[in-house]
Chains A and B, each alone.
Chain A
Amino acid sequence: MPVNDKNTPAKLTGQCVSIAYGQHRIVEDLDLIVPERRFTALIGPNGSGKSTVLRTFAGLMAKADGTILLDGHSIDTLSTKEMAKRVGVLLQGPVAPEGLTVRDLVQQGRYPHRSLFGRWSEQDQDACEEALMLTGMTTLADTALDSLSGGQRQRAWIAMTLAQQGEVLLLDEPTTYLDLAHQIELMNLITVLVHKHGKTVVAVLHDINQAARYAEHVVILKGGKITAAGPPDEVISAEAIADVFGVKSVIIRDPVAGTPLCVPL
């Protein structure tokens, strides 16, 4: 389902964003637009700064320069709590204490909605039940996370971010380490979240073809710079793949979805 970005309002916008580790600048003058209620994929080779960009847009990393706007307002003006109410984040390889159950974890998603010593409300309960249901984790709610499979664990963490009830989800390599079936399941979940629940999702993906098939907006990063951004049809080309990944390929049509499919030579 190709979408013309120009007609979609921006949910998250980065203007001239620079990010540095100490003196070393990783990202320089980045302009990134994340369209609202769309699935945006960040792709690029290792070390291109994808995760760094995601972390910075999540407010987890200080930027050296520039502005990041959420619905037109700088995220610097938002408190950590306000930010957490609107943006859910799932980073790579999250670790929960041994023995923590899925329900315990999902309930943590209500943290930003509760006052300092506030009680657990009906609303909190409903948000958790809904998050568990959406991710298909209801029957596993009382299971310890460490006894689950990788795919189930990933779904549990996504359920936690859903319990936050924010409009935006930022996911760092959500499909890495998952087998094919779980990857497809997760991509379908993201599609449902975007189209049925109006979420804006940004995910760092390693698989170009996965990005092309499921995302509506693809952003290609190389060396901390955006080399291309737009619908997969416009962005994914043999030239772009050769330029960014240094891999020669042909782009054909995905026989099932009709999206661009990159086949390396």
Chain B
Amino acid sequence: MSRSKGMPAARPSGSLSMTGRSRLLALLLVLCLLVAISMWAVTLGTVRIPLRSVGNAIFGFDGSREHLLVMTIRLPRVLAALLAGSALAVSGAIMQAVTNNPLASPGLLGINAGAAFTVVLVMTLFGTGTSDIYLWYAFFGAGCAAIVVYGLGSFGLAGQSTVGLVLAGAIVATFLTALTSAVLIFDQSTLDTVRFWTAGSVAGRTMAQAAAVAPYILIGLAAALLLGRHLVTLSLGADAARSLGQNPLAWRAIAVVLIILLAGSAVALAGPIGFVGLVVPHIARLTIGVDYRWIIPFSALGGALLVVGADTVGRMLFTSQNFPVGVIIALIGAPFFLWLARNKAGGAT
């Protein structure tokens, strides 16, 4: 349905909103970019594999070395980056809406750290295995961290303080990261396995791992898309939302479950990649406005694009192929975001 029926009234320069058509264009542009970079990423590596062979490997696997390389190393890596990136960005977008706090993100509020800690703890206690085993531990850790932050900073309550929530999140994140480091210091063998993972890495993911996590992330993303309209209502504040017939507590609870599902899955798959959940929703907001019906899909595509892009850049610069994508994202993401924020802030209002 068309939202902006008629009336192409002149938009004052202070307005950050766009019409439905230009939003759709922006979304399509990101999608095209994402597809292009993902395809390029699969061809890239110590051995260059032409796109045609990649297609053959997917649709007509013949067991050759080249096809094996595509199906067991290249493609899982790209898929892991796509899944983790979209999940983290969307969970960040939902968090920012629910807490009415532009600083909220699964990284800053300790959700990622909680998931990472439980995964590392379980690895240390019970040895290392495949990713799907850790998924539920990651959910559990993310959920516990969310509850603790909720308790400390009155997460989601009316009249919450922005600073209190961020402070609580920072404390929990720092504490859990320190605990994770402490556990790893005493357990050298686990450290060797998860060293890259704890910095956020998609290297060495298997197809089975990506496939184990994919359903959760896809369900989470689909639910988040349907949540968009309700997030706009929620962002008007608890009283206004209630007076419009929304049950803010119920929708907050649904949102928190989605946050834990998405962030937990992403961490189980690719480790606690920071920055994506904070920055991508902001980029979305700066680009297409404050409507969560658009921010959610834009964040999903943008997050995937950021992680795949950063990982590909890392693989080009450091041919060892194991440079953690989390580090690259912070390196290229931070200056880019500063540039964007400064430029947009200078241009608008």
Contacts and interface: CB of A to CB of B under 8 A. Distances in A.
Interface of A: 55, 58-60, 79-85, 87-89, 91, 94-101, 103-105, 107-109, 111-112, 117, 119-120, 125, 138-139, 141-144, 146-147, 164
A138 B5 CA distance: 12
Contacts of B233: 108, 111
B317 interface: no
B9 A80 contact: no
Tell me the dominant secondary structure on chain A's binding face: mixed
B244 A94 contact: no
B237 interface: yes
Given A98-B290, A108-B236, A83 B17 contact: no
Contact of A103 (B4, B239, B245): B4
Interface string B1-42: 101110101011011110000000000000000000000000
B17 A81 contact: no
Interface of B: 1, 3-5, 7, 9, 11-12, 14-17, 100, 226, 232-233, 235-237, 239-240, 242-247, 285, 289-291, 349
Nearest to B226: A117
Given A142-B4, A142-B9, A143-B11, A80 B349 contact: no
Contacts of B3: 103, 107, 120
Given A142-B7, A142-B17, A85 B245 contact: yes
Contacts of A55: 239
Nearest to A124: B1
Contact of A101 (B15, B239, B243, B349): B15
Nearest to B10: A142
Contacts of B289: 99
A119 B246 CA distance: 17
Contacts of B247: 80
Contacts of A100: 17, 232, 290-291
B102 to A, nearest CB: 9
Contacts of A138: 7
B243 A143 contact: no
B284 to A, nearest CB: 12
Contact of B236 (A88, A96, A142, A146): A96
B12 A99 contact: no
A91 to B, nearest CB: 5
Contact of B243 (A89, A96, A97): A89
Contacts of A120: 1, 3
B12 A143 contact: yes
B4 A119 contact: no
Contacts of A143: 11-12, 14-15
Nearest to B291: A104
Nearest to B96: A97
Given A97-B232, A104-B290, A147-B15, 6 more contacts: A80-B245, A82-B245, A91-B240, A94-B240, A143-B12, A147-B12
Given A139-B9, A142-B9, A91 B243 contact: yes
Contacts of B232: 97, 100, 104, 108
Contacts of B245: 79-85, 111-112
A129 B47 CA distance: 60
A104 B16 contact: no
B229 to A, nearest CB: 8
14 contacts: A89-B239, A91-B239, A95-B236, A96-B235, A97-B290, A99-B290, A100-B17, A107-B3, A108-B232, A111-B233, A125-B5, A143-B15, A144-B14, A144-B17
